[in-house]
A and B are shown apart, each in its own frame.
Chain A
Amino acid sequence: MAGRLEDEEYWHASEAKAFSFEDDEFGSQLCGVSKSGTARLSQRVREGMGIDSTYVSTDSLSGSLSRATISDSSQTAARPLQTLISEKSLLCILEAGNFHEKQPKGKLSPEEEVRILRRQVENRWVPPPVNDTVAKILLGYPYSLELYRSLKSKTELLDAAIAVGDGNAILAVVLFLVRTLKKNLVYQLLRTRPEAVAQYCQYLAIRLRVHELTDLLEMLGDNREASMKQFQLAVCGTMNPQRRLQKLQACFKNHFSLTDNKDRLLIENYIKLLDILILEWQLSMAGADAEIAKALVGQPVLSSLAYTCQHHWSEPKGSISAPLTLSQQQGVSDRQFQWTVLTVRASLHSWDDIEGLFITKSWLGGKKLKAAVSMEQVVMQLHAHGAPVDVLVKYLELIDNVDKRVGLAQKLQCHKAVVNVFVAKRDRQALISYKANLHPQSEDYFYAENSLRVSTTKWKN
């Protein structure tokens, strides 16, 4: 029956919970709802629930491809189609894709027949109006562009396609122009028609027709787009590291070497990074390191940095595989450098290294903080890696905002840090009531008690 009682208690307990010391979960709260709350509820609800597999719908496509799917088959029955749409409308929609030659209705007089025949013959060499042709493309009907032979009719055709805005029609016309006009004329037409250029470029890019694409873009004076396409190709299209480095170097020479190019430095750094990974590390390091260097080629700078932090931490400054060397050479920001070092060294539980990262001793022996990451983040990250309380307290003390410090310290159960704040504030009352909540006989409890006993503190209350 004890279980039942607990049950009762649970259901009638208030949802609005005050801060609880037992709540050891950290950071798992959203809009006032704590994760432990949902977890408890979910446990209750799931009690005695069957296994889901009985609800796998047999009609589901993905289910039939051997993956569990739950779809409610109790969907309200759809109303029959006839009640929702008229037969005529339905046919109109269903037939929309199919092309039917318009059949003349009824019997034709001889004159009419002659007229129709004449038009059919004419149509073999007189191009139909451009709008008709573009509409045909739009509707998915058969069409032919061959009759548009004059430059004027080609131009009109292109403009008609652009006016309707059907990218498919635009591409059809551009491909026709490319086939039937000399290059200069094509460029001339495209120069003032950005929609057509975009459509064509996209086609060339997907078809990997790189030379045509670059030619076109450079002709149109869009060097930036051209350089990006080249870069994309060199990097994303090349798997072999050596080849990639070579291509990248060529790409740099051709497109990014001008001093006013704002991406120049970035590409240079990228080349340097590949250089280090491929040439220096793989050659100078032995065995396993060289293997890892290979794997790092496809990864961001910070992965390499993390690697050096883990395996080459103690190397002297200036050595090619020391973390600081790599970081400076690549221009990694202080923030990212510190965060990477923090994460790696914390995962190795090397707490002392982290102290050296954030705290420098000044000439006069005082300590100076040089953190680019917020101390709250640092404390949370340390906590995530299981740092001991003493270490946490040390960094908690570095959080300037006292309220934030107390809040975080309570969440992480670093009671010493909280006690220290009250002492610093000379707030005896607060300290006494805080002590009341601590486990008697615990280390924290004695710490609080000692703090209260210290005679040098001038309490304000």
Chain B
Amino acid sequence: MQSSLESRLDALHQISQRKLADILTRIPGRKDLIIDPVLMKPLECITGVSFLRSLGVDKIFKLEKSGFSCVNPQWVYLIYSDLITAKRVCDQINANIHQDHKNSYHIIFVPSDQVAIQQLLEEEGVHGIVTVHTFPWELIRLDGGVMSHELPGLFRMLFVDGDRSMLPAVARSLWSLQFLFGRIPLILSQGRFSLQIQKMVDILFDELGSPDKPDSEISCMLIVDRDVDYASVLLTPVTYSGLLDEVFGISSGTVELDSRAAGTQDGTAKKVSYQLSSNDAIYNEIKNRHFSDVFTFLSSKAKEIHSEYDRSRNMALHEMKHYVATELQKLTAMKRSLAYHIGACEAIIGEMGHRFESLHQTEQNILEGRNKRDNFNYAEECFATSGKLSSLRLLCLLALTQDGLSLDEAMVLKTQFLHCCGYEHLVTFHNLEKLGLLTRQSAGTNAGSIPYGANDTAGKLAGRVAQVVSQLPKRVSAFQAFAQRLKLFPEVSEEYDLKHPKDPGYVFGGSYVPVVCQLVNLLIKKELSPEEVLKLGSSIGTSSSVQKTAEWDSSAPHSFLVYFVGGVTYAEIAAFQLLEKLTGARILVAGTSIINGNRFIQSIV
């Protein structure tokens, strides 16, 4: 049963559809649509072919280097507002013009129009020839109360390159979301980009209007920068959905099951995409379970179905008729779903099984700062034997938890990495440095030589480190001090049962509670005021703010919207869903994209 909060989210894709329809109807007649391949998956969440056809779209192409053969004189490009893609489109249009074709050209930018692109269009000489539209789609609801803006490039833009040109689009999506629920009375922001987004949302309310709903159905919104909690991205999740994302990569709520899991023994590399939805009863049961608990469930379910089939064999004819009409289809669908999930489990075990246990153990040691020598050795071994993503993840985790590696340690790992992955990755390490995920900033020769960019957290962190280190007698890093203050390491006792979790830390096998989940938990319990809660969060060196409107009534908030600038992980989503179950609070989770450790590293490399 959907809650009223969640069912309101049905409006999102309908509004997005309306926006797209408005644009397409402004382009009269039959047209060909050329779609940026990276937009394909998110677009599928919003619309389908028949909808586009009803708006006069004839042929649909993927934007590719090789070009395509349009049949209609109206060309409509639908692309991310990204300079490089825009340049490619300009080239295609110019080539077409030079062949003396007289077509009319349209570009629809998702999510916004950019000065840099306008400049490019002008320089390329297509300004005036091309009609520009923008399609600021709403947040895309992936499943239940989970939403994503599907801007996967945003993390790198903001945190590595310091490019803020997408922030207005994020602000706009949060502005229009509040029309559904009413203006949220309490807004907490943690991190520099979140603060600016909040400021922009205010401007939008002033300039474009505010919702006419008197009360908000959501009592509190948290906007959080991804760098508040990198650990939740880097750690290996143990929930089914988390591992599924880890091994296959879930994009826009669908997972591509390749031959590893699709059960095609004949070796045909046919890919099948499978939409993960809570309407799938089996997925809904297992998505947040600890992996060890998934298989037990699946096999008991299989047993059930099996005996159900058996029952049907002994049925009388009239019974059978009824059965076929009602039960059979459901049963077949369930069986199909079961087959996929079992296949996926198989692939997950095959992929992760040989290193899962040692990896998990090492991650836990790294978090708590134990056995430093062994951890480093493990990482080194990983550099020699495992892929580049997993080794860099460990390196980042080491750096994060020790407030940066020493110069020597960093050099050893860096050299090994460059040897096995290529010297061109020198740039990768430079990016890690910018993120504050490599060396101790105070010790490096580069201290102070980076006057700008995305690393002010790192700088602040370093200051914070010095401060904390001077206060503590033992060698406890700022990270660990912070984690202890916020109680991020669950107390694992005999009763700690991963199969019946009582603590959101189960998503990392009981070794770590996602920061933001803990902040929300504190708000629900109301042991601390919102200001105090945010102050706890801000000890990692980010700025924060609390904004209350007149309607705020100081009672403990009970319905939340949590928004991650830079992406949210499946592990965090599971943690929030457990928190909902434990406390009865309602929590909607959203982000600029869904991220995981591998995509995190890929966006830096």
Q: Which A residues contact B (CB, under 8 angstroms)?
A: 7, 11, 15, 27-35, 37-39, 41-42, 44-46, 49, 52, 55, 57-65, 67-72, 74-76, 78-79, 81, 84-86, 88-90, 92-94, 96-97, 135, 137-140, 164-172, 175, 193-195, 197-199, 202-203, 206-207, 220-225, 228, 231-232, 235-236, 260, 262-263, 266-267, 269-270, 273, 298-302, 330-333, 335-336, 339, 373-374, 377, 380
Contacts and interface: CB of A to CB of B under 8 A. Distances in A.
12 contacts: A41-B299, A44-B302, A64-B60, A65-B60, A96-B176, A97-B134, A165-B197, A167-B164, A195-B164, A220-B452, A263-B426, A373-B384
B114 A168 contact: yes
Chain A: interface secondary structure? Answer: helix
A434 to B, nearest CB: 25
A41 B302 contact: yes
Contact of A262 (B2, B35, B213, B407): B407
Contact of A61 (B49, B179, B203, B407): B49
Contact of A62 (B11, B44, B381): B44
Interface string B428-472: 001000000000000001100111111010000000000000000
B450 A225 contact: yes
Contacts of A170: 164
B168 A33 contact: no
Nearest to B254: A71
A33 B423 contact: no
A199 B165 contact: yes
B271 interface: yes
B452 A198 contact: yes
A333 B419 contact: yes
B275 interface: yes
Contacts of B326: none
Contacts of B430: 224-225, 228
Contacts of A330: 419
A185 to B, nearest CB: 18
Nearest to A269: B423
Please tell me the size bucket of the interface on B. 35 or more
Contacts of A90: 15, 18, 179
Contact of A64 (B49, B273, B424, B426): B49
Contact of B354 (A28, A71, A79): A28
Contact of B19 (A41, A94, A138): A94
B179 A85 contact: yes
Contacts of B345: 33, 38
A70 B276 CA distance: 10
Given A60-B49, A164-B199, A167-B164, A223 B449 contact: yes
A221 B274 CA distance: 51
A69 B273 contact: yes
Nearest to A81: B14
Interface in B175-198: 175-176, 179-180, 193, 195-197
A90 to B, nearest CB: 7
Given A35-B350, A166-B168, A44 B306 contact: yes
B10 A79 contact: yes
Contacts of B35: 61
B167 A30 contact: no
Contact of B167 (A34, A72, A74, A167): A167
A138 B200 contact: yes
Given A31-B290, A31-B356, A89-B179, A49 B339 contact: yes
A11 B346 contact: no
Contacts of A61: 35, 40, 43-44, 47-49, 60
B116 interface: yes
A89 B275 CA distance: 31
B115 interface: yes
A296 to B, nearest CB: 11
